[in-house]
Homo-oligomer: A and B are copies of this chain.
Amino acid sequence: MGADPAVTYKDAIARALREAMAADPRVFVLGQDVGKFSIGGVTKGLIEEFGAARVRDCPISESAMVGIGAGAAMNGYTAVIEIAYADILAVAFSSIVHSAAKLNYATNGQLRCPLIVRAPINRFSRHGPMGTEVTLSWFMNVPDLDIAMPADAAEAYWLLRHAFARPVPTIFLEDRSLNASSGPLGAKPKAPGRARTLRPGRDAVVIAAGRMAALARDAADAMAASKTPADVRVLSLGRVKPLDREAILEAARAAGRVLVVQEEPPLGGYGPAIQSLLDTLPASALKRQPALLARPETFLPYNREEDVLPSAETIAAALRELLA
């Protein structure tokens, strides 16, 4: 098979997209500045390779762009919609929930809605409270909707590939702050879309997605190397929805101590959903109550958002407390 070279997170996304377009002439791209000028870099070169009919620069009409994707799905096409940043999903909310996610249900399975909405999380780009948000919570409880939040290049690549095989819309919350991170893509996962153990460990498990999973690995590595070492497993959800209940329950049982970390406030997102799931275990299954590390109930400033977000340090501190 040869070597498995490191690929950046951004290139991994670009590669999965390119491959899907090459494989299926009915895959096409909608977005702003996705053509000759690729604003985020992910669609670079696609217009030259696949033509302007399949790589379409759009007006500032995200609601219609998603609706167009749903309409195209009714005729067997798969649209990949690039949203400038995740906060903008708000203006497309109705199209995502009502037009796309409900299509299969409302038509009783007559029509399906494969559709991918790429919505980069823009945190640390200094865009302020309307330009840096994670936005997972808005969609977490909407049925028939997949949500991916890749933590590294391999997850990004395989989850995006997997999304093309799904009969439902996927919100693909890639994280711009991870764009330059890199790693090998590895072999095709046997069960794509399942949670992944980023790092084994027996004393506790951190469950997280996206950048928080990456930070949790840093925190766990640091704790393993510290003077009072701890052996912490990190479970990366990758695809947050459908939630990999089985993997979560298995990891929780095995470690007995669970820390969930998310960047959003504590009243929604995968954090409380996982805690709710863990309540289905008998009380004796865990050694401690599961803990949630989340940001306080506040929006994100453009300056010093890191002050309110979990960091490798606060993750480690929360783990120490859990292990105490």
Contacts and interface: CB of A to CB of B under 8 A. Distances in A.
Contacts of A298: 105, 143
B90 A299 contact: no
Interface stretch (A115-123, A183-191, A224-232, A266-274): A266-274
A130 B266 CA distance: 28
Given A102-B130, A143-B299, A283 B289 contact: yes
A275 interface: yes
Interface stretch (A23-31, A93-101, A198-206, A209-217): A93-101
Interface in A128-168: 128-130, 137-138, 140-144
Interface residues of A, number: 47
A288 B266 CA distance: 23
A42 interface: no
A243 B292 CA distance: 17
A63 to B, nearest CB: 8
A52 interface: no
A102 B129 CA distance: 7
Interface in A234-261: 241, 243
Centre residue among A128, A137, A141, A243 by max chain B CB count within 10 A: A141
Closest 9 CB pairs of A and B: A141-B268, A272-B272, A137-B141, A90-B94, A93-B93, A272-B276, A91-B94, A141-B267, A275-B276
23 contacts: A91-B94, A93-B93, A93-B94, A102-B299, A105-B299, A106-B128, A106-B129, A137-B142, A138-B138, A138-B141, A138-B142, A141-B266, A143-B297, A143-B298, A266-B276, A268-B268, A272-B272, A272-B273, A276-B292, A279-B291, A279-B292, A281-B289, A283-B288
